[in-house]
Amino acid sequence: MKRIKSALISVFHKDRLDEISGILNDLQVKIFSTGGTFDYIKQLGIDAQTVESLTSYPSILGGRVKTLHPKVFGGILGRRDNKEDVRHFEQYEIPEIDLVIVDLYPFEKTVASTNNESDIIEKIDIGGISLIRAAAKNYRDVLVISSSGQYDDLMNLLKDKKGFTDLEDRRLFAAYAFQVSSHYDTAIFNYFNRQAKLPVFKLSLHPAHELRYGENPHQKGYFFGDLENVFEQIHGKTISFNNLGDLDAAINLILEFKEPTFAILKHNNACGAASRNTITEAWKDALAGDPVSAFGGVLVTNTMVDEETASEINNLFFEIIIAPGYENAGLEILKTKKNRIILQQKSFDFQAMQHKSILNGVIVQDRDLKTETKEDLKVVTKTSPSEYEKEDLIFANKIVKHTKSNAIVLVKNRQLVASGVGQTSRVDALKQAIAKAGEFGFDLNGAVMASDAFFPFADSVEIAFNAGIKSVIQPGGSVRDQDSIDFCNQHGMSMVFTGFRHFKH
Calpha distance 439→230 (Å, rounded): 37
The answer to whether the beta carbons of residues 504 and 407 sit under 8 Å apart is yes
Question: Which sequence positions are flagged as catalytic?
Answer: 137, 267
> Do 297 and 245 touch, CB atoms closer than 8 A?
no
Kindly provide the residue ranges of all beta strands, DSSP E only, lying in 369-421, ordered along the sequence. Answer: 378-379, 408-411, 416-420
* Nearest residue to 464 via CA among 430, 417, 428, 426: 430
- HSE toward the beta carbon, residue 428, CA cutoff 13 A: 7
Long-range CB contact pairs, 386-395, < 8 A, 24+: 389/448, 389/470, 389/471, 389/494, 392/447, 392/448, 392/471, 393/448, 393/450, 393/471, 393/473, 393/496, 394/473, 395/275
Report the C-alpha gap between 124 and 233 in whole angstroms.
34
Rounded CA separation 71/113 (Å): 36
**297 close to 267: Cβ distance less than 8 angstroms:** no
Decide the pairing of beta strands 341-345 and 231-235. Answer: antiparallel
Dist. CA 375–CA 159, nearest whole Å: 69
d(CA 397, CA 400): 5
Give backbone dihedrals phi and psi of 158, rounded to 5 degrees, phi first.
-65, -40
List helix spans (H) across 335-369: none
User: CA 478 to CA 465: how far, in whole Å?
Assistant: 20
Look at the chain and count its residues.
Answer: 505
Find the helix packing angle between 35-43 and 17-26, rounded to 10°.
Answer: 70
List Cβ neighbours of 238 (8 Å cut-off, separation of 6 or more): 211, 212
Cα dihedral angle (471, 475, 479, 482), rounded to 10 degrees?
A: 20
Q: Which neighbouring-strand residues pair with 210?
A: 222
Burial class (CB in 10 A: 0-12, 13-18, 19+), 344: middle
